[in-house]
Amino acid sequence: MRNDQLAELGQQLRVDAVRAANAAQSGHPTSSMSAADLGAVLLANHLRYDFAQPDHPGNDRLILSKGHASPLLYAMYRAAGVIDDEELLTFRRLGSRMEGHPTPRLPWVDVATGSLGQGLPVGVGMALAGKRLDQIPYRVWVLSGDSEMAEGSVWEAVEHAAYEHLDNVTLIIDVNRLGQRGPTRHEWDLDAYARRLHAFGWHTIEIDGHDVGAIDSAFAEAESTLQKPTAIIARTHKGRGVHDVDDREGKHGKPLPNAEKAIEELGGPRFITVDVAAPPAARVLYGSRGGRAEMPAYDVGTSVATRDAFGDALAALGSVRPEVVALDGEVADSTRTAAFAKEHPDRFFECYIAEQQLVAAAVGMRTRGYIPFASTFAAFLTRAYDFVRMAAVSHAPINLVGSHAGVAIGEDGPSQMGLEDLAMFRAVYGSTVLYPCDANQTARLVEAMADLPGIGYLRTSRGETPVLYGPDEDFPVGGSRVLRSGDQDRVTVVAAGVTVHEALRAADLLEAQGIGVRVIDLYSVKPVDAATLQEAAEATGCLMTVEDHRPQGGIGDAVASALSDGRPLPRLIRLGVQNMPGSATSAEQLHLSGIDAESIAAAVQLLVEEAVVR
């Protein structure tokens, strides 16, 4: 498209953004208007995208990281002829695909945005897939705001992209100078951004973001720049083109005061349609080799850490599922993804100590069809909670594995202990939360995780625990195992992970005193096996949960929720980590937190003595 046409297209996008926000009486037209020329040039002259085939592997990816500027994106879709004017004007209405912030309800949106500073991190994951997995020359275009450059996650991604020489990712920064509540730190100091990006190894281009010719050249330069990613730093005006809002404070996130006048000032509605360039032919390389993975098998009675079993199982899974990839936060030796790295180095991604980028890269790869397992210490996944939350909004089923769960890790102390992870992951929409106690169980669950419909979380333990189950046993997601039961059981102890072993030992101690207890291994914390719990509740009348986790949000809450369906409830008692641990051995920690065998046995004895249980 010629420059004069591009300028017209830019105006069309502005007008449409104004119209959409006016119809909704909310939204962010001014943030859309600043980037309209950038969007116009990208759509008309650079993006290679088959809108009829959003899954075309050769398609470029476009991420609107400044998701609040959704009216711009939707205006671009109208210009591309894939939504009509009527749909555009359903912006922000119930049932409309034109949501306040873009989500994958629209087939051309790969990932939801709206939490700032996530577009580039996820885009880097896509670009990494393009280079190292797909080997398809698609380009990832990320349109970002200037305010969001303050997010550390952006700099994790900046570092990652440069380190991996991702010349297939282009970051476009819409420097409109004004954030939500006032001027940004650097306002129109384009050099401030360029200096930083350049120092990290990026190619940078500074332009007037309303000069379509300059934009066109910059995009072309980005496309031809090799071995490094390019950032285009564009000076723009928020609300560009309408005098009453152009570069004015206090105009963020509101429809224009006088939309009719504004549309007139912008030259009225236009009906330009863009013939977006088709992507080159491409095909996905991987294809399942089929067959069931030869999962590792462990002998009952031996001692194996579940983290070890996870590493072995992931490596085995990778051998039959070429779409399985592993991402590490520089702790692969601890999480045991080192085993995967050794067998499948081409599908192992070192993300260094940058947990937000670790999860974001996984999301990016997921959008390209891969099945990512991203691992670090359970405690450090808290760093990436916003990315996990947004992955759920994006319907991107990634798997996360947190090792070093609970006080059982021992001497390293509270900073390294995952004690809030179950709460965090249970609250995520559509998540599955698994917490195995045994090596063979771990292997089976890892296998199942590859095909989960939502976010999967596996909690592994540092120390060795006895192998309880045979290698051929099944552990369906949503199931549980009754490990001990008898007619005279007076309490049911519900445990998972390390506390299963404590519960079994407690059962032995109590049996010696003539007190029978049922023991349930609740390896699937979400979904939870309500039927088995209800049966145990009826049979024993009292459930005691024991967890190496804070008393809130974990196994105790999961069990209580399974019973909250209006039926009469059993008595419930919870044991969890109430203290702030210091350094101590694993056994000491479990004892001090009141979740070891002796504590469980004592708690049951107390119930029996006080005749709370029959």
Distance CA 46, CA 68 (A): 23
Alpha carbon separation from 152 to 81, 86, 147, 536 (Å, rounded): 37, 39, 12, 48
Q: Which is nearer to a copy of itself, 46 or 203 (CB)?
A: 203
Distance CA 601, CA 541 (A): 17
Q: Which is nearer to a copy of itself, 319 or 416 (CB)?
A: 416
- Closest approach, Cβ 416 to a copy of itself, in A, equals 6
- Closest approach, Cβ 562 to a copy of itself, in A, equals 10
Q: Which is nearer to a copy of itself, 346 or 565 (CB)?
A: 565
For residue 400, state whether it binds a copy of itself (rule: CB under 8 A): no
- The angle formed by the CA atoms of residues 111, 116 and 120, to the nearest 5 degrees, is 60
Query: Of these, 137, 369, 414, 478, which contacts a copy of itself (CB under 8 A)?
Result: 414
For residue 334, state whether it binds a copy of itself (rule: CB under 8 A): yes
Phi/psi for 493 (5° steps) reads: -95, 120
Active site residue 420: no
Q: Which of residues 267-326 bind a copy of itself (CB under 8 A)?
A: none
Q: Which residues contact 265 (CB under 8 A, 6 or more apart)?
A: 241, 242, 243
Q: Which of residues 37-96 bind a copy of itself (CB under 8 A)?
A: 67, 91-96
Q: Which of residues 145-184 bind a copy of itself (CB under 8 A)?
A: 147-148, 150-156, 159, 163, 179-181, 184
Q: Which is nearer to a copy of itself, 561 or 605 (CB)?
A: 561
Q: Which of residues 473-532 bind a copy of itself (CB under 8 A)?
A: 526
Part of the chain binding a copy of itself (CB under 8 A), chosen from 29-37, 225-233, 510-518, 551-559:
551-559
- Give the total of residues touching a copy of itself (CB under 8 A): 116
For residue 331, state whether it binds a copy of itself (rule: CB under 8 A): yes
Distance CA 494, CA 603 (A): 13
Count of C-beta atoms within a 10 Å radius of residue 488:
10
AA letter at 54: P
Query: What is the 8-class DSSP label of residue 44?
Result: I
For residue 391, state whether it binds a copy of itself (rule: CB under 8 A): no
For residue 602, state whether it binds a copy of itself (rule: CB under 8 A): no
Distance CA 108, CA 102 (A): 10
Part of the chain binding a copy of itself (CB under 8 A), chosen from 112-120, 230-238, 397-405, 480-488:
112-120
Q: Which of residues 347-376 bind a copy of itself (CB under 8 A)?
A: 352-357
Query: Token match 């199942």: residue?
Result: 448
Q: For strands 542-546 and 230-235, give the pairing.
A: unpaired
Question: What ranges in 427-528 are assigned the alpha helix state H?
Answer: 439-449, 498-511
Identify which of 488, 507, 491 has the alpha carbon closest to the alpha carbon of residue 613: 491
8 A C-beta contact, residue 331 and residue 130: no
Alpha carbon separation from 349 to 171, 290, 317, 335, 585 (Å, rounded): 22, 24, 16, 14, 33
Tell me the per-residue interface mask from 531 to 550 with a copy of itself, x by CB under 8 A, - otherwise. -----------x------xx
Identify which of 342, 418, 350, 344 has the alpha carbon closest to the alpha carbon of residue 385: 418
Q: Which is nearer to a copy of itself, 156 or 323 (CB)?
A: 156
Tell me the per-residue interface mask from 552 to 591 with a copy of itself, x by CB under 8 A, - otherwise. xxx-xxx-xx-xxxxxxxxxxxx-----x-xxxx--x---
Distance CA 265, CA 263 (A): 5
- The angle formed by the CA atoms of residues 257, 240 and 251, to the nearest 5 degrees, is 40
Query: Of these, 383, 444, 490, 501, which contacts a copy of itself (CB under 8 A)?
Result: 383
- Closest approach, Cβ 423 to a copy of itself, in A, equals 4
Q: Which of residues 424-453 bind a copy of itself (CB under 8 A)?
A: 424, 426-430
For residue 104, state whether it binds a copy of itself (rule: CB under 8 A): no
Q: Which one is catalytic: 206, 355, 502, 547? A: 355
Q: Which of residues 191-250 bind a copy of itself (CB under 8 A)?
A: 195-196, 198-200
Question: Concatenated DSSP letters for 103-133?
Answer: -TTSTT--S---STT-HHHHHHHHHHIIIII
Q: Which is nearer to a copy of itself, 99 or 167 (CB)?
A: 99
Query: Of these, 105, 283, 342, 614, which contacts a copy of itself (CB under 8 A)?
Result: 105
Tokens of 212: 């379509």
- Closest approach, Cβ 564 to a copy of itself, in A, equals 4
Query: Of these, 29, 39, 58, 114, which contacts a copy of itself (CB under 8 A)?
Result: 114
Task: Assign 182 to helix, strand or coil.
Answer: coil
Please give the positions annotated as active site. 355
